[in-house]
Amino acid sequence: MQTEATRSPDLSNLWMPFTANRQFKAHPRMLASARDMHYTAADGHRVLDGTSGLWCVNAGHGRRPIVDAISRQAAHLDYAPSFQIGHEDSFRAASEVAALMPAGLDRVFFTNSGSESVDTALKIALAYHRARGEGQRTRLIGRERGYHGVGFGGISVGGISPNRKAFSGVLLPGVDHLPHTHDLEHNAFSRGQPAWGGERFADALESLVALHDASTIAAVIVEPLAGSTGVLLPPRGYLERLRAITEKHGILLIFDEVITGFGRLGAATASAFFGVTPDLITMAKGISNAAVPAGAVAVRRSVHDTIIDASANGIEFFHGYTYSAHPMATAAVRATLGIYRDEGLFDRAKTLSAPFEEAAHALKGRRHVIDIRNLGLVAGIELAPRAGAPGARAAEVFAECFDRGVLVRYTGDIIAISPPLIIDEAQIGQIFGTLAEVLDTVD
Shared domain for 93 and 136, answered yes or no, is yes
Asked if residue 6 has pLDDT above 70, the reply is no
What pLDDT score was predicted for residue 5?
A: 60
Average pLDDT for 254-258: 98
**pLDDT, averaged across the chain:** 97
322 lies in the same domain as 395? no
Q: Please check whether residues 33 and 148 belong to one and the same domain.
A: no
Residue 3 belongs to some domain of the structure? no
Residue 87 lies in a domain: yes
The candidate with the shortest Cα–Cα distance to 177, out of 197, 158, 152, is: 158
> What pLDDT sits at residue 198?
95
Confidence of residue 7 (pLDDT cuts 50, 70, 90): confident
172 and 266 co-located in one domain: yes
Residue 384 belongs to what domain range? 21-59+344-439
- How many percent of the chain have pLDDT more than 90? 98
Query: Both 145 and 171 in a single domain?
Result: yes
pLDDT of 8 reads: 86
pLDDT band at 103 (very low <50, low <70, confident <90, very high): very high
Residue 1 has pLDDT above 80, yes or no: no
Q: Is residue 8 part of a domain?
A: no
Residue where a domain terminates, one of 342, 366, 381: 342
Domain count, the chain: 2
Which residue type does 54 have? Answer: L
Residue 4's pLDDT band (cuts 50, 70, 90): low
Domain boundary among 289, 318, 342: 342
* Residues 258 and 216 reside in one and the same domain: yes
pLDDT at 312: 87
Can you tell me the mean pLDDT for 402-431?
A: 98
Of 342, 358, 385, the residue that ends a domain is 342
Question: Domain holding 48: CATH number?
Answer: 3.90.1150.10
pLDDT (tens digit per residue) in 70-84:
999 999 999 999 999
Q: Is the pLDDT of residue 112 over 90?
A: yes
| 218 & 327 share domain | yes
* Ramachandran area for residue 213 (φ above 0: left; ψ -120 to 50: alpha; else beta): left
